[in-house]
Amino acid sequence: MRVTVVALALALVLGGVITTPLHAQGGSNYSSLGIGDLRPWVGAQYDALSGTQIGMPTPYGINMVNPSLMGLCPTTRIQASYRFNQHINQAPSVNLAQNNGNFDGVVAMFSVDTAKGFAFSLAITPFSRVAYMVQRSLSTEVDGTTITGSSLQQGEGGTSQAQFAASVKLLPTLRVGLGIGAMFGLLSYTDNVSANGDYSKVYSKLTNDVRGLLYRAGAYWEPSSTLGVGAFATAGGDGSSYITRRAVGSASGSVYLDTTTITETTTQLPMQYGVGASGRIGSGRLGADVMMSDYTGMTINPRPDAAYTTGLRASVGYAAFGSQHPNAEYADRIGWYLGACYEKLYVTYKGANIYEYSGSTGISFPLGGNAMVDAAVSLGIRQPQADGAMQELFGRLFVSVSIGEIWFKPFARD
């Protein structure tokens, strides 16, 4: 009887964490789909531009999307970032707040030869993030008796990349860059199901240990001093996933079920590509990006109510860069940024697309010398198209600190 009740309760839970949550804290409920919320770049300066960077050169930003732009930075830099997320989930009779904060990667970029555009970078950056906690009420009928209970579901972890990239100037107007990233991380999903009364409790945990290699190439063409065009592509072969499943059942303090299975599967890694352009307007720069992705070959975290698909992202951004001269007035060294973004997510929910709309703004200011602080705020809405699905309002705060020095002195050329 106990096993039957818990099995029925588990069946009610399999529909997912999004349909009828009662309590939530931790992050976006939609991070339970696929491999979580994606993080295609790092650095608050780019967050202030809503991610616009494929064809947008900056004086000191470390570009991990289009590596060809790294050679434009005149100093060797080390950057660390932090990200805070606040979500408000809304559905009929539901209005929930949930949040999380996490370290957002560290990047070191070495500017070896600015005349030749030669630079390289080493980085550990996030690729995706899973963060949610939801409690749901359960109810089923067995032999004419209504049995109630609850399910507490939680997801955490994510994937990261250990990256190496390099850039060089091939022609006076053409720069190229190449990179490789080792993808790794743990995606963890737990579920605590309990039935009210003298019935069992079941704890289950699913963990995906993801590994693989991603290769990146980028180019930046600058036909004039006021116009630039960039492009990039990222692809990988097959990755691997070690899947650990554990289930523990107990009744009256006694464990009657404790099983663990481990399997290894392969998955096709995603492909991403995009183009961008920017032009100088007065003392600032206006840019626009279009980024596409294909996740249809991925098999990690399969769910009956979700599927991998192709993603699309379009953004615009305006940057008023501050002066980079260390002796300039402090007010002249402050930079201001604005951005806006539209995105179709790389997963569907209940057969329908999920769309995201956001706007951003930010500021950068010096700490002294070549050290800089960037701060950005992004506000938006995540709108699923499935009937009855929960929409999310979100606010995100980003902070990056970078320090820079001239490590490689120019030498005389013939």
pLDDT confidence of residue 6: 43
Report the C-alpha gap between 220 and 216 in whole angstroms.
14
pLDDT confidence of residue 329: 81
The pLDDT of residue 95 is above 80: no
Of 189, 183, 228, nearest in space to 57 by CA: 228
> What pLDDT, in 10s, does the model give residues 131-187?
988 887 877 777 777 778 888 889 999 999 999 999 999 999 999 999 999 999 999
pLDDT confidence of residue 292: 97
Report the C-alpha gap between 289 and 67 in whole angstroms.
15
pLDDT confidence of residue 18: 41
pLDDT confidence of residue 13: 39
Q: Categorize the per-residue pLDDT at 410 as very low, low, confident or very high, splitting at 50, 70 and 90.
A: low
Q: Categorize the per-residue pLDDT at 411 as very low, low, confident or very high, splitting at 50, 70 and 90.
A: low
Are 305 and 17 contacting, i.e. CB atoms less than 8 angstroms apart?
Answer: no
pLDDT confidence of residue 368: 76
pLDDT confidence of residue 45: 95
Question: Residues 338-358: what's their mean pLDDT?
Answer: 97
Report the C-alpha gap between 300 and 291 in whole angstroms.
22
Element (H, E) at 2: helix 2-13
Of 58, 206, 204, 210, nearest in space to 127 by CA: 210
Question: Residues 332-357: what's their mean pLDDT?
Answer: 95
Report the C-alpha gap between 240 and 212 in whole angstroms.
6
Report the C-alpha gap between 305 and 119 in whole angstroms.
45
pLDDT confidence of residue 276: 98
CA quadruple 34, 40, 46, 49: dihedral sign: negative
Of 6-20, 342-356, 389-403, minimum mean pLDDT range: 6-20
> What pLDDT, in 10s, does the model give residues 270-281?
999 999 999 999
pLDDT confidence of residue 17: 40
2-405 in CATH: which number? 2.40.160.60
The pLDDT of residue 74 is above 50: yes
> What pLDDT, in 10s, does the model give residues 188-239?
999 988 877 766 788 899 999 999 999 999 999 999 989 999 999 999 889 9
pLDDT confidence of residue 106: 95
Report the C-alpha gap between 239 and 341 in whole angstroms.
30
Q: Specify the residue for token string 């701060």.
A: 375
> What pLDDT, in 10s, does the model give residues 272-323?
999 999 999 988 999 999 999 999 999 999 999 999 999 999 999 999 998 7
Average pLDDT of the chain is 87
The pLDDT of residue 1 is above 80: no
Q: Categorize the per-residue pLDDT at 408 as very low, low, confident or very high, splitting at 50, 70 and 90.
A: low
pLDDT confidence of residue 378: 97
For 143, residues 6+ apart whose C-beta sits below 8 A from its C-beta are none
Beta strands in 197-237 (DSSP E): 201-224, 227-236
Question: Residues 102-128: what's their mean pLDDT?
Answer: 93
Report the percentage of the chain scoring pLDDT > 70.
Answer: 90
pLDDT confidence of residue 25: 47
Name the residue ranges covered by the structural domains of the chain: 2-405
